[in-house]
Chain A
């Protein structure tokens, strides 16, 4: 079995199940992968044999724990590659997605690890911040008393004022108070109130 075909199948089962809220059958998977049904059924037999997929009596399939782990690993690779193409190379979103779909099956773990480190070290562009959700949060989502570090900021009309007040990447801020999503922070020893719509454009991470 071609590793790329196997990974595509596992991803298809995982995505269809989370999208529809129920197990998919062979026809749905074939439609999703845009392949003919007999090829998909053949692949399903092989992945059931390898213990990554289980099929019930009605022909609906789901991933086993082993299959789930494999699908998650491919999904992470896809996400890192897609972010790299879009953010670092400035590629169009759909092109980045297609390239990531091709390369996710062949990139080594080491390549992905280095790419991820490169992306996180280099701040995203002001025009399109699509930070790795596991690393960054929006300032608007922080809780009272948290001390966080500004990682990146989307471009907005208030960016100039924010920079003048000391809200720049690398700066530590303390969240003093929240009123709904309007937050009061302390930056450079001064208290600054920021509306939710602006606080959502400031991405923060853990202080190192």
Chain B
């Protein structure tokens, strides 16, 4: 038996899912999409039941990838039972999705969650009346307290049934639905979808397309608006019969501080700065430990094992790739995502999006784009994946370019390891400033030259909640998994390729070829080009390779402060790492990925050349 958990975003779906399934959750792509689904199994009455946590959606008539996916499962009846989770504190708005689901005539149970917060807010819901009105069993739960969660599976397996509350649509819609049912032999739910432009049956879609203009002419509003209005009115009628509001208890509203310019913006800046500081402190501490362990257990034994030089080179390249990947993935990326997941789960991220909306508009983006940009500070790979949430290709393109310029934790290692350590904190901060200025300038230019219109932000701000550790870890793991699945294999392959290039002397040839350019234009020694090349593998490898090639960790004995500064600037800006290029190409196409790589290459070398010109 398969049960699909469905509901609006922020109704506690994932928490209920993790409480139902416990450990052993599998994460997989839904076929033909890029949306991740969490699947777990529950054993009930000696039967294995598969539970799937579907993405949070507001409607089955939406056009984004999550809504398409859930609609697809509903139309194809992919699940035996749908457990619809409703937020008791916002019942009326949540009933909208229930009314849509009922139209598909599927077995449904309703989980009325967050009943504890509803009680605090003075909201009482007549559960029996609600159940008799909609014709499906309803169970009140408080997932944060674990209340009634154990009753969900028994209810879903034995009492789920199709709902019985038909929405009465406008006369013209009803007439159109009847016509489509007769013409194409379709169900009421599919006819309603067809009127809104969703469907695959050519006969049905053609018939719907001829009726729609008449309805628009008659009502002067889109069919979707008309249908939505009818559903909202029906939801409002149900809510008015079952919801009683008493005087709520007194509670403070932190949003009155968080969503104002003052103190909202200073809080946001302080928050982001402290988050980065924590990541860096913990990250560098863990990195040292992990790298040393690898060095001791794997790298050194390979070096001293006396293998054939070619085999030794390949093994060493692989070992270094794994060492580097795990040395960055776990210390920096995991710490960062642990913190960012805390922020996402608390609901504060949406407040940041609201505060940043106006600023982001100057870059041709909107507030929601700040979320992947902040993620980019940890690692560009999951950040680029985050741009799927942005509505149009134009916004995704601009965001992709800007994210690849955001100094990720690996670039932070370069800035800290080279500039802060050998030149000073002020110099490191000035380098950040240069990068920020270049991001702003690039954003402004892109917003003017990228074709298409901005889409604008429509974003629900859920109530602020205390994050739960289990969910934070699950969410962090999702981000980390993206890094490991995409970045690690690439890192290993390219590390071996570069290792072999070094082994057969190709790297030396390259170094000699570009040495004149490096020396005359950037003022850097020839070996710096090899270090930069390795930086494409993984950003902070540029730093590590520089130390190896310089023959000392005390870089100021080999390079001047200006050379160190230019090297750090060029490697920070110059070409995103190979994993980022790969994920860019997957999300945006290889042409865009290539263009971005070329742009950052020119930008990095250009910025380095300008600095060299000014100071030499």
- A159 near B460 with CB under 8 A, answer no
Give Cα distance in the complex from A193 to B392, angstroms: 19
B222 at the interface (CB under 8 A from A): yes
Question: Judging by beta carbons under 8 Å apart, are B229 and A182 in contact?
Answer: no
Which of B54-62, B126-134, B298-306, B316-324 contacts its partner? B54-62
Q: For A163, A194, A198, which residue has the most chain B Cβ atoms within 10 angstroms?
A: A163
Q: A177-B260, A189-B89 are in contact. Are A195 and B229 (CB under 8 A)?
A: no
Residues from chain A with a CB closer than 8 A to the CB of B232 are: 166, 168, 171, 188
Tell me which residues across on chain B come within 8 A of A206, comparing CB atoms: none
Q: When the two chains form their complex, are residues A198 and B457 in contact, meaning their CB atoms are under 8 A apart? A: yes
- Of A164, A171, A197, chain B has the most CB atoms within 10 Å of the CB of A164
- Are B93 and A179 touching (Cβ within 8 A)? no
Closest beta carbon of chain B to A125's beta carbon, Å: 4
CB distance from A86 to the nearest CB of B (A): 13
Nearest chain A CB to B218's CB is how many angstroms away?
A: 11
The answer to whether B63 and A160 touch across the interface, beta carbons within 8 angstroms, is yes
Most A-side CB within 10 Å, residue of B59, B358, B366, B458: B458
- The interface bits of chain A over 172-208 (1 if a CB of B lies within 8 angstroms of the residue's CB, else 0) are 0000110111101000111111111110000000000
| A123 close to B (CB within 8 Å) | yes
Among B347-355, B493-501, B540-548, the one that faces the other chain is: B347-355
Known: A190-B460, A195-B457. A125 touches B220 (CB 8 A): yes
A186 to chain B, nearest CB (A): 10
Q: Give the docked Cα–Cα distance between A196 and B366 (Å).
A: 10
A51 is an interface residue with CB less than 8 A from chain B? no
Within 8 A of A (CB), among B332-381: 350, 353-355, 357-358, 361, 366-367
Q: Say yes or no: B358 contacts A159, CB within 8 Å.
A: no
Closest Cβ of chain A to B331, distance in Å, is 34
Bound complex: CA A92 to CA B307 (Å): 84
Q: Are A188 and B92 in contact (CB under 8 A)?
A: yes
Is the Cβ of A195 less than 8 Å from the Cβ of B224?
Answer: no
* A59 interfacial by beta-carbon distance below 8 Å: no
- Closest Cβ–Cβ distance, residue B363 to chain A (whole Å): 13
Complex interface bits, B450-475 against A, C-beta within 8 A gives 1, otherwise 0 = 00001111111100000000000000
Q: Is the CB of B222 within 8 A of A124?
A: no
Report if B228 contacts A (CB, 8 A): yes
Residue contact B221 to A126, C-beta cutoff 8 Å: yes
Which residues of B lie under 8 Å from residue A169 when comparing CB positions?
Answer: 221, 225, 229
Q: Which residues of B contact A171 (CB under 8 A)?
A: 232
Partner of B96 from the list A166, A170, A192 (CB cut-off 8 Å) is A166
Known: A179-B358, A184-B259. A164 touches B58 (CB 8 A): yes
Complex interface residues of chain B between 106 and 141 (CB less than 8 A to chain A): none
Q: With A and B bound together, what is the CA distance between A158 and B342 in angstroms?
A: 29
Contact B454 A197 (CB under 8 A): yes
Say yes or no for B586: interface residue by CB 8 A criterion.
no
A159–B93 alpha-carbon span in the complex (Å): 17
Closest residue on chain A to residue B359 by CB atoms: A180
For A160, the closest partner residue in chain B by CB is B224
Given A125-B220, A182-B367, A184-B259, are A193 and B459 neighbors across the interface (CB < 8 Å)? yes
Q: Cβ of B361 and Cβ of A195 under 8 Å apart?
A: yes
Task: Report whether A194 and B92 are in contact in the complex, using a CB–CB cutoff of 8 Å.
Answer: no
- The CA-CA distance from A169 to B93 in the complex, in Å, is 16
Q: Is A155 an interface residue (CB 8 A)?
A: yes
Min distance, Cβ B359 to any Cβ of chain A, angstroms? 9
Q: Is the CB of B62 within 8 A of A179?
A: no
Q: Judge whether A126 and B458 touch: CB under 8 Å.
A: no
Task: Please tell me if A157 contacts chain B, counting CB pairs below 8 Å.
Answer: yes
Q: Are B93 and A160 in contact (CB under 8 A)?
A: no
Number of residues on chain A facing chain B (CB within 8 A): 40
Alpha-carbon distance A40/B190, docked complex (angstroms)? 66
CB-based contact B456/A126 at 8 Å: no
Q: Which residue of B lies closest to A161 (CB)?
A: B458
State whether A126 touches B220 (Cβ < 8 A).
yes
Judged by a CB distance under 8 angstroms, whether B90 is at the interface is: yes
Smallest CB-CB separation from B91: which chain A residue?
A189
User: Is B261 an interface residue when CB atoms closer than 8 A count as contact?
Assistant: yes
Give the distance in Å from the alpha carbon of A168 to the alpha carbon of B230 in the complex. 10
Q: Are A161 and B62 in contact (CB under 8 A)?
A: yes
Q: Tell me whether A193 and B220 are in contact (CB under 8 A).
A: no
For B458, the chain A residues whose CB sits under 8 A away are: 158, 161-162, 165, 192-195, 198
Q: Is the beta-carbon distance between B259 and A179 smaller than 8 angstroms?
A: yes
0/1 interface trace, chain B 198-232, chain A, CB 8 Å (1 if under)? 00000000000000000010001110110011001
Question: Complex: how many Å from CA A197 to CA B354?
Answer: 14
Q: Is B391 an interface residue (CB 8 A)?
A: yes
Within 8 A of A (CB), among B380-396: 391-392
Instruction: Say whether A110 faces chain B, with CB atoms less than 8 Å apart.
Output: no
The answer to whether the Cβ of A153 comes within 8 Å of any Cβ in the partner chain is yes
Q: Which residues of B contact A179 (CB under 8 A)?
A: 259-261, 354-355, 357-358
Enumerate chain B residues within 8 angstroms of A168, measured Cβ to Cβ.
225, 228-229, 232
- Say whether A193 contacts B221, CB under 8 Å: no
B55 CB to nearest A CB, Å: 15
The answer, among B90, B221, B222, B228, for a CB contact under 8 Å with A164, is B228
Complex: A184 Cα to B361 Cα, angstroms: 16
**In the complex, A2 has a CB within 8 A of chain B:** no
**Contact A159 B461, CB 8 Å, known A164-B62, A168-B228, A181-B358:** no
Chain A residues within 8 Å of B92, by CB:
188-189
Contact (A192, B459) CB under 8 Å given A164-B61, A177-B259:
yes
Question: By the criterion CB–CB under 8 Å, are A170 and B229 in contact?
Answer: yes
Minimal Cβ-Cβ distance residue in A for B228: A163
What distance in Å separates the Cβ of B48 from its nearest Cβ neighbour in chain A? 35
Interface pair A191/B461, CB less than 8 Å apart: yes
- Give B262 Cβ to nearest chain A Cβ, in Å: 11
Contacts of B90 in A (CB 8 A): 188-190
Does A158 contact B225, Cβ atoms closer than 8 Å? no
A122 to B92, CA, bound (A): 27
- Whether A160 lies near B61 (C-beta < 8 A) is yes
List the B residue with the shortest CB-CB distance to A144: B260
Using CB atoms, name the residue of chain A closest to B100: A164
Given contacts A164-B58, A182-B358, contact A194 B220 (CB under 8 A): no
Q: How far is the CA of A168 from the CA of B62 in the complex (A)?
A: 16
9 smallest beta-carbon distances between A and B, as pairs: A163-B228, A195-B456, A164-B59, A182-B357, A198-B456, A125-B220, A195-B457, A180-B358, A188-B93
**Chain A interface residues (CB < 8 Å from chain B):** 122-126, 153, 155-166, 168-171, 176-177, 179-182, 184, 188-198
7 A-B pairs in the complex with CB atoms less than 8 angstroms apart: A125-B220, A125-B221, A126-B216, A182-B367, A193-B350, A195-B367, A198-B457
